[in-house]
Amino acid sequence: MQKRKLGNSNLEVSAIGLGCMGMSFSYGPPKDKQEMIALLRAAVEHGVTFFDTAEVYGPFTNEVLVGKALSPIREQVVIATKFGFNLNPDGSPGWQGLNSRPEHIKEVAEASLKRLEIDAIDLFYQHRVDPDVPIEDVAGAVKDLIQAGKVKHFGLSEAGAQTIRRAHAVQPVTALQSEYSIWWRKPEEEILPTLEELGIGLVPYSPLGKGFLTGKMDENTEFDKTDFRKTLPRFTPEARKANQALVDLLGVIAKPKKATPAQIALAWLLAQKPWIVPIPGTTKLHRMEENIGAATIELSADDLREINSAAAKIEVQGARYPENLEKLTGR
């Protein structure tokens, strides 16, 4: 697979990475561990070198899974994980608030290194901006970890432009992870220009709209009770029915290219900037193969114009998060 560099850094990764969260957390019950280990190793065989996890996914179980699968082939992969929450003391899913105090960041790094079975975290993201801790202190703590050889690169997730600038002034930010796709384009207003100016890469999560842009669901799709999409305004049956127009548009572009809507959604992201690396998640081998196939699809300037002008006429229905989660973003 083609490689891309995240911004001005020397961190080179596959053009499409793999988001690992859904293997353990959030999208219904956890999947079979051995099957997921096989899938992670198959991804490496297919040229994927960039894997995304976090301590909060599980909690902890996703990092353990990724560590077990990838530590034997450590030199071939780049592993990103995240800090920034106070997790429930009983180990149940969820969290009790944000925590990016420097001493906590260092504790999380040590614990993540053990679970991932590695000596250094390739990319360590602040999962959500903590309004109680100056971002300069957060960047300083990660800088200390980088100087100690425990972390290689610093990242932020869902941060606002001013926070990115302030962090970058203390410790260069290699990548920002944020939701970005053809149905969530807010980063284009302020975030993308800021990243371009500072030489920071963008890692879009949910590049397939949490599965919606694959075209494999409609307003009648039923979600498992443990699937967090049940809580999202954008996934009500009414919103799904209204938003189908976007999937239909992707299908129209896909057909002459013998591609799928998901592949066009990913190819569209790759065509936006050379420093964008989406991380679609999946638990199925054939979906992973479909997703990485997007890296070979060329969208012409005419294709992109057609997509953008048609998409501009479609008003996506439903907020992406409930209010309590949305307020954690863009700070």
Residues known to be catalytic:
57
Neighbours of 47 (CB within 10 A): 15
Looking at the chain, list the stretches that DSSP marks H as alpha helix, in order from N- to C-terminal side.
Answer: 33-45, 61-70, 102-116, 135-147, 161-170, 191-198, 237-254, 261-272, 285-293, 301-312, 323-326
Tell me the C-alpha distance between 123 and 157, whole Å. 12
CB within 8 Å of 88: residues ≥ 6 apart: 59, 94, 95, 96
> Contact 151/174 with Cβ under 8 angstroms?
no
The structure tokens listed for 44 are: 């490496």
In DSSP terms, which residues pair with 82 in a beta bridge? 125
Tell me the C-alpha distance between 127 and 129, whole Å. 7
Spatial strand order of the sheet with 18-19 comes to 18-19, 50-52, 78-83, 121-126, 151-157, 173-179, 201-205
Tell me the C-alpha distance between 165 and 188, whole Å. 17
